[in-house]
Amino acid sequence: MYPKNTWYVACTPDEILDKPLGRQICGEKIVFYRGPENQVAALEDFCPHRGAPLSLGTVRDGQLTCGYHGLVMGCEGKVVSMPQQRVGGFPCIRRFPVVERYGFIWVWPGEPSLADAAQIPHLAWAVSPEWAYGGGRYHINCDYRLMIDNLMDLTHETYVHGSSIGQKEIDEAPVNTRLEGESVVTSRFMNNIMPPPFWRQALRGNGLADDVPVDRWQICHFTAPSHIMIEVGVAHAGQGGHAADPSVKVSSIVVDFITPETTTSHWYFWGMARNFKPEDTALTAAIREGQGNIFNEDREMLERQQMNLLAHPERRLLMLNIDAGGVRARRILDAHISAENAAENTPPA
């Protein structure tokens, strides 16, 4: 239920600092490590000698050595050497296309010949000194599409995140969903409302009054397979809202990369990119902590929702206007998956 010929965020550089990382992505058990010249490599996590996971091995000078009997594996999946053995005839293991970019390690779990690094989305905020980024990672036991639904319908903030970013006015503002090329965009604008606690803190952090009405916006951008960037912010009311001058607003981008592990679990990479006070690392840390707490509030709901859906496979869910973002995102995913299946079943000409 996920496309495989596409790029997913697999991990972050801090996860492969001094030893290999084993992680399952789209059902594939993969080992990630820094190979020759510090380039990230991704291989099947299976030693061809006796089936040990290579992720329990060691890396030295870009060489991955199996931690069981010392087989040395090359970054293309071909065995390099093994003590006292001739390895020429040893079977190879799968290698996965992998790219380090924008502070993330991206992996292509499908057919390697189709991988094109140019398809990795451009993240302007990740390469600009005017922006700062902080984020984290959660393992969530639900279908990655339930997380897409969650993020494409922010109505839930009123209920799940009532003490931080939720407020009743979210419910009352109309929501608009449209396709923009390959993106699904869902937006909501709430004018002349009082800011909720998270945004009051952000206003203060940016030196702005926090006890006055604001115009608030949420613009969710989905692109396949599961990248969601949400423009969020508040401006002092009546100054143009989303388009207001930076001196009267505070805004940022909620960054979400959602990577299927199995059909009912995923890795959730979350964070926030902001273009105010980018040099303030204490602020980055404070925002990261607050955001981590907020996103953790979704976990129980999502995991229990998953259990309910597994128990009731026959039930059809509603698709309201507020669900349109998730529904359209799924249509795009379904088209990707169908195209992959068709390609797999087409005999070569």
Q: Which one of the spans 200-208, 239-247, 259-267, 304-312 is the region binding a second copy (CB under 8 A)?
A: 304-312
φ, ψ of residue 105 to 5 degrees: the values are: -100, 120
Q: CB 272 → a second copy: shortest distance, Å? A: 23
Quote the CA–CA distance of 51 and 332 in Å, as a whole number: 37
Figure out which of the listed residues 289, 300, 334, 344 binds a second copy, where binding follows CB under 8 A. Answer: 300
Site for a second copy contains 48 (CB under 8 A): yes
Site for a second copy contains 311 (CB under 8 A): yes
Cα four-point dihedral sign 107, 112, 118, 121:
negative
In angstroms, the Cα distances linking 183 to 179, 180, 338 are: 6, 5, 19
Quote the CA–CA distance of 243 and 311 in Å, as a whole number: 46
Site for a second copy contains 189 (CB under 8 A): no
Figure out which of the listed residues 1, 15, 63, 68 binds a second copy, where binding follows CB under 8 A. Answer: 68
Figure out which of the listed residues 62, 70, 103, 292 binds a second copy, where binding follows CB under 8 A. Answer: 70
Cα four-point dihedral sign 44, 228, 271, 265:
negative
Figure out which of the listed residues 12, 19, 29, 265 binds a second copy, where binding follows CB under 8 A. Answer: 29
Q: 320-345: buried (b, 16+ CB within 10 Å) or exposed (e) per residue?
A: eebbbbbbbbbebbeebbeebeeeee
Q: CB 92 → a second copy: shortest distance, Å? A: 12
Q: Which amino acid is at 197?
A: P
Q: Which amino acid is at 69?
A: H
Show the site string, 143-182: x = touches a second copy by CB under 8 A, - = not: ------x---x-xx-xxx----------xx-x--------
In angstroms, the Cα distances linking 173 to 14, 15, 170, 189, 195 are: 40, 41, 6, 7, 15
CB closer to a second copy, 287 vs 322: 322
Figure out which of the listed residues 118, 282, 318, 349 binds a second copy, where binding follows CB under 8 A. Answer: 318
Site for a second copy contains 335 (CB under 8 A): no
Residue 134 pairs with which residues in a beta bridge? 272
Q: CB 176 → a second copy: shortest distance, Å? A: 13
Q: CB 222 → a second copy: shortest distance, Å? A: 17
Provide the token pair at 125: 């905020």
Quote the CA–CA distance of 283 and 207 in Å, as a whole number: 13
Binding footprint of a second copy, residue count (CB under 8 A): 48
Site for a second copy contains 67 (CB under 8 A): yes
Site for a second copy contains 72 (CB under 8 A): no
Which residues make up the interface to a second copy (CB under 8 A)? 29, 45-46, 48-53, 56-57, 65-70, 82-85, 90-91, 149, 153, 155-156, 158-160, 171-172, 174, 300-301, 304-305, 308-309, 311-312, 315, 317-318, 320-323
